[in-house]
Structure 1
Amino acid sequence: MPDDATHKPYRQPAGGWGSVKSLFKHVMHQRAGSTAASLVRDHNKTGGYMCTSCAWAKPAQPHAAEFCENGAKATFWDLTAKRTTPEFFAKHTVSELLAWSDYELENEGRLTHPMRYDATRDKYVPVSWDQAFAEIGGKLRGYNPDSVVFYASGRASLETSFMYQLLARLYGSNNLPDSSNMCHETTSVALPQSIGTPVGTVLLEDYEKTDCILSFGQNVGTNSPRLLHNLQKVRERNVPVIVFNPLRERGWEEFVNPQRPAQMVTNRPTQIATQYYQPRAGGDIAAMMGIAKLLLEWDDAAIADGDARVLDHAFIAEHTHGFDKFEEKLRQTEWAAIVGSCGLQRIDLEKAARTYANARSVIAIYGMGLTQHKLGIDNVQMLINLLLMRGNIGRVGAGVCPVRGHSNVQGQRTVGIAEKVDLVPLDKMAARYQFQPPREDGMNTVEVCEAIVAGKVSAFIGLGGNFVRAIPERALMEEKWRGIDLSVQIATKLNRAHLVTGENTYLLPTLVRSEIDMQASGPQIVTMEDSTTCVHASRGKHRPASDTLLSEPAIVAGIAQATLPPDESVPWDDWVADYALVRDEIEACFPDDFRDFNKRLDVPGGFARPVAARQREWQTDTGKANFKIPKALHSSFDTGDDPEVLRLITLRSNDQFNTTVYGYADRFRGIHNSRMIVMVNPADRERCGIAKGGFACLTTAVDDGITRSMNGFQVIDYDVPAGTIAAYFPECNALIPLWQYAEESKTPAAKSVPVRITPGTVAARD
């Protein structure tokens, strides 16, 4: 157990020697030194393996070392010398392991054998693959398919994902939620309504042509560090970078490129953000409304003075719908309301708006700081409104760039992992595989949780991930999870989701992407899609952690064959023997996206899927890009009227990717030794009667009959806006009500949770 948190502001740039030291620490800790040469030679390179961490784009001409600090940590974590064997499980009960931290569980190393939970002994015991498949299949055949959930985490390849969704539909279920439901589902709902596509419009080469970058709610230094290379080149062309984020993050401030020896020697950083604004959590709509209102006012003045117009009226007239009503809304919105909601001054918004107005081609980057709010849809669509006002969609060097998380979370959706049937070519699948797929929408993540609480889920199959830890309402969900009859977890390491057991629980260990996947036809290739819709091939280079591991496609096929009747039109064994055959199936079902799939595997930089909005073709209900009017100036569940209610942002540390915690060092924020901390504006801390460096209790500020409270947070004075506090995910998920999600998308609203903070005591770790 780490000691109390220490906090000393980090003054060094992102990257640089801090990253180098971190890599040495983690490679030694995981005893993964033999991977170093391959990391340089193979990581994110043609002929090598794609990173299992973030989904940022891979350049056609890679750097000498095409990896970042977090990508290297993920590789060391995957290729660790540590093992979690049957002997480990023989020594520890599940009840004992439930008291371990996320870090301690995964730090035990790679799982090596299939295991089954024995409730009488409260331990996992070994089971053969054949027996596990037979028992799982026997159980699945006895359920109503509507009560079975097929969850996917975002790391699985396109090949595995296609097979997995086909298994679910052949079985009779569209219950295919994935981790996108918890992060960028808001994007998938908002963008089609506005511009007719569920994905971004920017390609990597657009960064070479852009005149300005806007960023909202995205922490580049931790969540997509390789993007810093593109941003550095942007800044070297003197392109302005405008950042809106409640916390000042080092990655947006300064960067020293470890790929540049001269810069490493001098430690002279590149300034990334030229303007940095810290709106209150949930205040982004107001900030964007303020910029839009200024653009409109300046356009009015240009008309009066006979000057060049500020708005792109030709684009608006030809390509958009709804501008008149949006214009009316801007004129009606008072400046006092805008400033009060976002917490920024008008002079700040004027500076940002003037920079935006002076640029011809603008890229808008955003992350979960926009999507995980009650009005997350409005957040994203307001950002699109800003782009449309000046024609910044479908122009070289311009567009919208949602930064996705897990390495193939976007690609999974592309090949059919979706609970919404209108996103999947069911008619093609029905004809090709000679069956009648279910035609009703399945359950998304929140709906799965609701069904588990109601006792309506019989079985949960997890293709990776740490579902129980990642979802909201943790206390209730862990209690109700134990009522599930069958829980099957396909995984590489032990995590908490494996320890909250159902009546019948199986742990099925699998290969990682960087390991050689040897099948009947030889070593296999898998593929994935990055944040910019480019598809890449990946070839494992390392010996598997155990000879008893199976690949994800083999595990999916094993479950399918044990569950479904034999069918010549679905040759599972052939597909496992040669993944190229699976890619042929993907191409047949998704011909527009995967034309000549097997022939294009090694296109440098990947091959881009077509996105109609890039060509200013709008696949919307109006046939044009739509201006959307936000419902309010703030996106949070609380109104902002009660000064005792603060908005909690949950976030990741520098030593973390999603629910995987690599250690207790949040270097960029200067926080070490603990994750049970809360970052608070000093004025808010004093007003709430909490001593400096003291402890706090957080209680969700809702009145629904359920008390959600967590004690033992060490309080750190931090540069956050008044009314905003920040603490770590997933620890704070227990404070998020299941019903607090983004309207329409049902993405949990983890970026502005209304809470009250009171003096607390030291408590046991979460």
Structure 2
Amino acid sequence: MHKATLKPYSGPAGGWGSVRVLGAVLSKEEIPILGSEILWQQNKPDGFMCVSCSWAKPAKPHPFEFCENGAKATAWETTSKTVTRDFFAAHPLAELRTWSDHRLEAEGRLTEPMVYDAATDRYVPVSWQQAFQAIGAELRQLDPQSVVFYTSGRASLEASYMYQLFGRMYGSNNFPDSSNMCHESTSVALPEVIGAPVGTVLLPDFDQTDCILFFGQNTTTNSPRMLHPLQAAVKRGVPILTFNPLRERGLERFTDPQKPTQMIAGGTRISSHYFQLRVTGDTAAIVGLCKAVIEADDHAVAHGQPRRIDVAFIEQHTHGFDAFAEFCRNQRWDELERISGLTRDALEAAADIYMKANAVIANYGMGITQHVHGVETVKMIVNLLLLRGNIGKPGAGISPVRGHSNVQGQRTVGISEKTKLVPLDRLAELYHFEPPRQDGLTTVDACEGILNGRVRAFVSLGGNFVRAVPERSLMEPAWSNLKLSVQIATKLNRTHLVPAQTTYLLPCLGRIDIDQQAGGPQAVSMEDSTTCIHGSRGQRPPISKHLLSEPRIIAEIAKATLPANRALDWDAWVADYARIRDAIEQTYPDQFKDFNKRLFQPGGFPRPLAARQREWKTPTGKANFSVPESLSSGAEDGRAGVYQLMTLRADGQFNTTVYSEDDRFRGVYGGRMVVLMNPDDMIHEGLKKDDRVTLATVAGDGVERRLADLQVFPYDIPQHCIAGYYPECNVLVPLWHYAKGSKVPAAKSIPVRLIAQS
């Protein structure tokens, strides 16, 4: 039985630790250390955009405008290692399914199209033309409503636009994507309260803010380059208040490896105040902050002192303040303390810092959105900002920190199952067809369709769907009943090892590969977390001459599936991606004016957002205060012996891609099958460090969900809360355990019991 080790890490984020790890990664992937010009071009205005996170790219970048995880992602994609037909001939899928996620992807880049052969349980080569014709023939035989078109977060705007257009011309609105699994709670909450589905903060706002809040966000692993503006803010004396169940190193201390003085001195303290709340305690904590502000304002009114809320802003720009204020006044402090895990004194102290600031940015991540009441918690963050007019002015705003590098942009150009978010009439006008009008399937809906047999085919533009979704013990067996699975990918992953009746594995160019088409080398584009659009050019020759670009693959499948359409020349689009961008501009003229001219504008160009100008596209015409239905972010369970499990990404990981079995910042080395637990809870359960336990989901629906052989580590986490790694813990998440209103799997608060193993 494999044994991980716990060695507490005392260093900062960044610093010498990152330098050593980067050197090891480049060496392992057979890339000359710092001899590669590729890293010099990462996140530069005329280079390529990182294939990892979606954090904003500055107009004036650092010489090394990449973080440790971004460099890992680049090394992972530019590796010289390859997975060829000989590899598949040597390894049946039954054997590969015993490999770890890390080992699978570490084999290297896929090199030629393959089709699954059930007789030998192996992938075998197939020509591109044979694959396209066979896929088209299969799709023509199926009901379009039974076909799912999934998109991962890294596909470009050009590929995403083509993909959604092909799917709708085929007759389907089934476009679930990785947003459904992470920030859909944002996309549901923000339109209702500020009239926009995205955040309002731009990168320059960090230079003008005088207070920064963090809720449920681990900057260290999800968006490390964000530490640069945070470090600059700290040097200006800006307080940073962090609310998170775990103490994450990047929000504690950071050393910029590009600055020798910091490497010697040991770095910068990031969070001025760190509040370790309970898992599911976010809503109660934010209600407590709001209650403290409102009660301070009530006191000011009673004593003739300056107001603590922005009365003029509230009267002119908001709706529903009186009901929300009365709700906050009526909440009991003892109840807020119990649910949040924070004291009244701590919450009032945080509120006092907030009230002294003129411009406040509130950042949040999946620690907010992946809860049963995640939508309401997002709205609560907005409530807090509205109290003091902190939306629509310089240095202030709401900042959802998205995950993958273009997950937000895909929604912008039509990757959505919600028809109200897609300009169907405009598509019909431009391309002379009648799009389907009914809403399509979300990720959860698609999983339900696979389980009940209504979904017959799954086309995946990147991603590792089977590994990323909940209910893995049910999903993997059901996947084999699909008639068709098409996987467009750069590397081998777990989903590829669960074949359907017919399965094609189509290797594509990565973003860092030079994309040579008939019209010359092509550029693509993506949108970052702050709604800014950036161009990206590939920098290195493809690892194999058999790779095709995502736009080319989409176009060829479309040509093999659809009847000819005089209004659309797929081949012309593939020859020159500028024509795709022209089509995007024609479809969204208010969002992409002069798209091609501004493609490589330093810092990107921001999409227009009315809420930044305090124009509220809501039914009330104003920003809306909202009253939560619950004080808990999750589904509270007070039963004895029930713990709230939150899933984590490790330092050596991005989404389902595991670069290393280590999690340096948390001190976990050599394995991921661990559970982090409060030492007092361990004593109560009679457990010692390194004991093995099984986690069993508390559900009551008759489905047994268990994960065994987890090694127990003592950790600084609130009592009755535990933590384990994603995606390993996905087997414990019921498909129906999701955020109300958004259907985001509630992977940050899963009620479980611990069963000691002998």
TM-score normalised by length of structure 1: 0.98
One-letter code aligned to 1:31: E
Q: Does 1:530 align with 2:528?
A: yes
In structure 1, the partner of 2:658 is 661
SS of equivalent residue, structure 1 residue 187: helix
SS of equivalent residue, structure 2 residue 375: helix
CA contact (8 A) 2:156 2:525 kept: yes
| Aligned 1:120-519 pairs, distance under 5 A | 120-264=119-263, 266-519=264-517
In structure 2, the partner of 1:635 is 633
One-letter code aligned to 1:755: V
Q: Does 1:689 align with 2:672?
A: no
**Shift of the alpha carbon at 1:729?**
0.1
One-letter code aligned to 2:369: T
**Shift of the alpha carbon at 1:85?**
0.3
| In structure 2, distance between residues paired with 1:547 and 1:665 | 34
**Identical counterparts, % of pairs:** 58
CA contact (8 A) 2:23 2:33 kept: no
**Shift of the alpha carbon at 1:35?**
7.1
CA contact (8 A) 2:38 2:539 kept: no
SS of equivalent residue, structure 1 residue 581: helix
**Shift of the alpha carbon at 1:41?**
2.4
| In structure 1, distance between residues paired with 2:305 and 2:4 | 57
In structure 1, the partner of 2:547 is 549
CA deviation map 1:662-692 (0-9, x unaligned):
0111000011000000000011112122223
One-letter code aligned to 2:638: D
**Shift of the alpha carbon at 1:117?**
0.2
**Shift of the alpha carbon at 1:411?**
0.3
CA contact (8 A) 2:581 2:595 kept: yes
- Report how many aligned residue pairs link the two structures: 758
CA contact (8 A) 1:39 1:65 kept: no
CA contact (8 A) 1:40 1:64 kept: no
**Shift of the alpha carbon at 1:36?**
4.4
In structure 2, the partner of 1:764 is none
CA deviation map 1:719-757 (0-9, x unaligned):
000111000000000000000000010000000011111
Picking from 561, 564, 567, the partner of 2:562 is 564
CA contact (8 A) 1:84 1:108 kept: yes
CA contact (8 A) 2:38 2:540 kept: no
In structure 1, the partner of 2:739 is 742
| In structure 2, distance between residues paired with 1:537 and 1:349 | 43
CA deviation map 1:144-198 (0-9, x unaligned):
0000000000100000000000000000000001000000000000000110000
CA contact (8 A) 2:518 2:575 kept: yes
One-letter code aligned to 2:657: T
CA contact (8 A) 2:156 2:526 kept: yes
CA contact (8 A) 1:690 1:758 kept: no
| In structure 1, distance between residues paired with 2:451 and 2:395 | 47
In structure 2, the partner of 1:699 is 696
| In structure 2, distance between residues paired with 1:279 and 1:716 | 20
| Aligned 1:727-766 pairs, distance under 5 A | 727-760=724-757
Q: Which runs of 5+ in 1 are unaligned?
A: 762-766
CA deviation map 1:186-222 (0-9, x unaligned):
0000000110000000000000000100100000111
| In structure 2, distance between residues paired with 1:80 and 1:12 | 29
| In structure 2, distance between residues paired with 1:93 and 1:229 | 46
| Range with greater deviation from structure 2 (547-556 or 27-36) | 27-36
CA RMSD of aligned residues (A): 0.9
In structure 1, the partner of 2:575 is 577
Q: 1:35 to 1:121 in 2, by over 3 A?
A: farther
Q: Which runs of 5+ in 2 are unaligned?
A: none
SS of equivalent residue, structure 1 residue 727: strand
SS of equivalent residue, structure 1 residue 599: coil
One-letter code aligned to 1:268: G
CA contact (8 A) 1:302 1:310 kept: yes
One-letter code aligned to 1:555: I
| In structure 2, distance between residues paired with 1:389 and 1:104 | 50
| In structure 2, distance between residues paired with 1:198 and 1:622 | 16
| In structure 2, distance between residues paired with 1:268 and 1:750 | 35
| In structure 2, distance between residues paired with 1:64 and 1:538 | 17
CA deviation map 1:314-367 (0-9, x unaligned):
111110011111111111111111001001111111111110010010000000
| Aligned 1:84-95 pairs, distance under 5 A | 84-95=83-94
SS of equivalent residue, structure 1 residue 25: helix
| Aligned 1:605-620 pairs, distance under 5 A | 605-620=603-618
One-letter code aligned to 1:418: S
| Aligned 1:12-91 pairs, distance under 5 A | 12-33=11-32, 36-91=35-90
Picking from 721, 726, 732, the partner of 1:724 is 721
One-letter code aligned to 1:91: A
| In structure 1, distance between residues paired with 2:201 and 2:705 | 41
**Shift of the alpha carbon at 1:37?**
3.2
CA contact (8 A) 1:536 1:602 kept: yes
SS of equivalent residue, structure 1 residue 202: coil
CA contact (8 A) 1:14 1:255 kept: yes
| In structure 2, distance between residues paired with 1:39 and 1:273 | 33
SS of equivalent residue, structure 2 residue 505: strand
CA deviation map 1:118-152 (0-9, x unaligned):
00111100000000000000000000000000000
Instruction: Show structure 1 runs of 4+ deviating over 6 A.
Output: none
SS of equivalent residue, structure 1 residue 393: coil
| In structure 1, distance between residues paired with 2:595 and 2:643 | 50
CA contact (8 A) 1:690 1:696 kept: no
CA deviation map 1:283-328 (0-9, x unaligned):
0000001111010111011111211100111111110011111111
